[in-house]
Amino acid sequence: MELSAKKVVVLDYGFGNVRSAERALARVGADVEITRDFDRAMNADGLLVPGVGAFAACMEGLRAARGDWIVDRRLSGGRPVLGICVGMQILFARGIENGVRAEGLDEWPGTVEPLQADVVPHMGWNTVDAPAGSELFAGLDAGARFYFVHSYAVHEWTLESHNPVIEAPRVTWSTHGKPFVAAVENGALRATQFHPEKSGDAGAQLLTNWIGTL
């Protein structure tokens, strides 16, 4: 018997290219809906949180759509969430952009700060260094390239698991000037700094891998 497609909601809170995300997810077989409806977002198999623009503005829009509560409630119940680009950045404790400090969702400790590189923004294709056992990057070789467009990132990862029963987060790195966090896999919460929906076949494989975990 053929299994039904996984239901994925792309959270429409005004900050993100939701149509590109919708097309990419549909391409890999998901049943996709773009909405800010609370119940639909809560009940989907997976929730994708996009994000473009300034950290503080994204947080303001997310709160206005009750997206902060949706993310928190889903994760409290072990329900999968995937953040992309600024949708990843707002999962950290805070962001500092143009001297403005804004509080994030604080799912992970850390500060989103300006990239430390000669050329900013970081725009274009780059490789990543994924850890052993990664589910998001399964089936992708070390030379796989992903599409980045950002001027800010997290340069330090401080969250570790000291409980042998709880698996430590898997952190993927990339480098533009200085190494920065390119992706995180932490139980039901996953995120990428790059745009898988703009990353061709490699991005499609990553989204397929994520859907396979739902």
Peptide bond into 121 cis (omega under 30): yes
Pairwise CA distance, residues 19 & 25, whole Å: 10
Helix (H, G, I), strand (E, B) or coil at 59: helix
Short-list 119, 95, 117, CA closest to 105: 95
Dihedral over alpha carbons 129, 135, 141, 144 (to 10 degrees): -60
Q: Which residues are catalytic?
A: 85, 195, 197
The encoded tokens of residue 156 equal 């330090």
Count CA within 13 A, CB hemisphere, residue 6.
22
Sign of the Cα torsion 22, 106, 86, 180 reads: negative
